[in-house]
Amino acid sequence: MTGPDNELMVERKGYLGIIQLNRPRALNSLNLNMVHHMREALATFADDPEITSVIVAGEGGRAFCAGGDIRIIHDLGKANDPDVSRFWREEFPLNYTIAHYPKPYIALMDGIVMGGGVGLSAHGAFRVVTETTRLAMPETGIGYFPDVGVSWLLPKAPGEIGTWMGLTGNEVNAADAIFAGLADVHVPSERLEELTKAISALGPSHVHKGIEMLLAQFSTPPAPGMFETGRELIDAVFSHNTVEEIIATLKARDDAFSQTTLQTLQKRSPTSLKITLRMLRLARDSSGLIECLEREFAAGLEVLKGYDFYEGVRAAIIDKDRNPQWQPAMLSDVTNEDIVRYFGQNPHPVFASHRL
């Protein structure tokens, strides 16, 4: 079975259910129909006794999933179309479903894995990265913030690794994705097809253990990342609870990493930086994934009422001048009162039907 226009390919191979994101020209970015049909496919596989596990992958070799289709979200938001919130109302429960899926859920994170792509993979039971993996939550660069439940995951990374990832939006490789707890094992991309075939032969007896054994068999050491050696510096800088303190600490240092990081943060939306840091700090004391997703949902609706998201998408996707003019443009002009409204009570919880 397939989704509309074959944007989502769903098939069975032996005991395995396979979901293939099939928008390679758009780097497999998600739209509402893909999310809807993926939820349907997962429900079908969960109820099928002949299916013992599910693999999710991206078509085309360049990307697992580059995230939600922000051009569509931009246009719907500009038009005040209710479908813009409907996308998140379907996407966020999908992230929750993945996190609590009753059968082994295996994400093949080959190529670009960004934004919503992290939501489709990092919540899964088995997260496989390759030598081509480029993982990021780049939302502060488009006037938004890390969502899809990643505000629940990033604070669980060692030290302040998650804070660095959320604020800078920088890409990391396979080793760093594993170090941050967003992936489990590195497998060469040329062996993914062979791995898929081997998993498809695993029947219902001890399937979870069988997958673990196969991943150990296929895994190889990834190329070195930066987190293992750079964590001490990241922790020292990003342990502060205000963006202003983080910036001041970076300015006081003269090493190359600090100066590069400073330049990166100075290009991000000041409002998004403050929303993101508060989101990550609040998540530390949250009860679970649902609470974080609902907080993200409420903040996302507020972002659509503002300026920076539309300006960020314009600069990155529409005009592609890479020169967003944020409003406010300075951190000092973003007050606590400005940020509080993103964290108010959501009158229409996206997870009302999921509560026990």
The pair of structure tokens assigned to 98 is: 């993945």
The per-residue pLDDT for 2 is: 54
Q: How far is CA 225 from CA 93, 172, 250, 333, in A?
A: 32, 8, 21, 36
- For 111-129, the pLDDT digits (tens) are 999 999 999 999 999 999 9
- For 33-80, the pLDDT digits (tens) are 999 999 999 999 999 999 999 999 999 999 999 999 899 899 988 888
Mean residue pLDDT across the chain = 94
Instruction: Tell me if the pTM is above 0.85.
Output: yes
| Annotation marks residue 77 as catalytic | no
The per-residue pLDDT for 289 is: 96
| Annotation marks residue 116 as catalytic | yes
Write down the catalytic residue from 68, 124, 141, 306.
68
Task: Identify the residue whose tokens are 């990374």.
Answer: 157
Residue 198 in contact with residue 214, Cβ under 8 Å? yes
Write down the catalytic residue from 147, 160, 176, 296.
147
The length of the chain is: 356
* Average of per-residue pLDDT across 92-96: 97
The per-residue pLDDT for 265 is: 98
| Annotation marks residue 291 as catalytic | no
Q: How far is 324 from 314, CA to CA, in rounded Å?
A: 8
Residue 326 in contact with residue 308, Cβ under 8 Å? yes
The per-residue pLDDT for 354 is: 47
Out of 35-44, 183-192, 299-308, 336-345, which region has the weakest mean confidence (pLDDT)? 336-345
Write down the catalytic residue from 69, 139, 184, 294.
139
The per-residue pLDDT for 1 is: 54
Q: What percent of the chain has pLDDT over 90?
A: 90
Write down the catalytic residue from 77, 115, 116, 306.
116
The per-residue pLDDT for 81 is: 86
Q: Is the Cα dihedral 217, 24, 177, 299 positive or negative?
A: negative
- For 159-170, the pLDDT digits (tens) are 999 999 999 999
Residue 281 in contact with residue 339, Cβ under 8 Å? no
- For 164-215, the pLDDT digits (tens) are 999 999 999 999 999 999 999 999 999 999 999 999 999 999 999 999 999 9
The pair of structure tokens assigned to 248 is: 């001041």
| Annotation marks residue 139 as catalytic | yes
The per-residue pLDDT for 311 is: 98
* Average of per-residue pLDDT across 277-306: 95
DSSP 100: T
